[in-house]
Chain A
């Protein structure tokens, strides 16, 4: 069974540009979580999507946004990129309604120059 897949694995953008990161959850998982992990720092919660709706949002500015598609895959968009947006962006998926663990993708490393 395929795990959580994220694309691209690496992304280099210049300040002010927009970045789009993609996540495909494990088949059957309806919840997708996005986290930012800057170098040397812990996981910072960004967004939670479930059944196509945004359920919760972390303490990030509005230029961080996303969506979940009918097939439960998800996109994270970051507008007006700033240097401090450089980080590893991790996506995790879990099935709704079951008390089971979440599974992570390998992440997208975004570098803003």
Chain B
């Protein structure tokens, strides 16, 4: 089983829709979690951190479910500019190894 798994998509959604991505991780002792956004031909950049209590930033909500070992990203009222690849990141182990998921591609269509 991969350490971090994501559905690569693509997810094609209409403008204004709500879309959710999940990311599962295998190491139950993982400590920190993040979502990154990667635009076409650019490097990934941090979108938001994921906390056990949940984290909301405007139209974006990130949640962590430790019992089921997954994190989620919810995007409400999708905009065309949300089209990108979303990568989940898990930090685990004594050395705080950083593991990226393969990324989920989102395409918001007019």
Shortest distance in angstroms between B5's beta carbon and chain A's nearest beta carbon?
11
CB < 8 Å neighbour of A33 from B87, B98, B102: B98
Give the number of residues in B that approach A within 8 Å (Cβ atoms). 26
Are A48 and B97 neighbours in the complex by a CB distance under 8 Å?
Answer: yes
Are A55 and B97 neighbours in the complex by a CB distance under 8 Å?
Answer: yes
Give the number of residues in A that approach B within 8 Å (Cβ atoms). 27
A residues within 8 A CB of B34? Answer: 101
Chain A interface SS verdict (over half): strand
Q: Does B89 contact A (CB under 8 A)?
A: yes
Report B's interface with A, CB cutoff 8 A. 6, 8, 31-32, 34, 36, 41-46, 49, 85, 87, 89, 91, 95-103
Selected A-B contacts with CB under 8 Å, 24 pairs: A31-B98, A33-B98, A42-B6, A42-B8, A43-B87, A43-B101, A43-B102, A44-B102, A48-B97, A50-B95, A94-B96, A96-B95, A96-B96, A97-B96, A98-B96, A99-B96, A100-B32, A101-B36, A101-B46, A101-B98, A102-B89, A102-B98, A104-B43, A106-B43
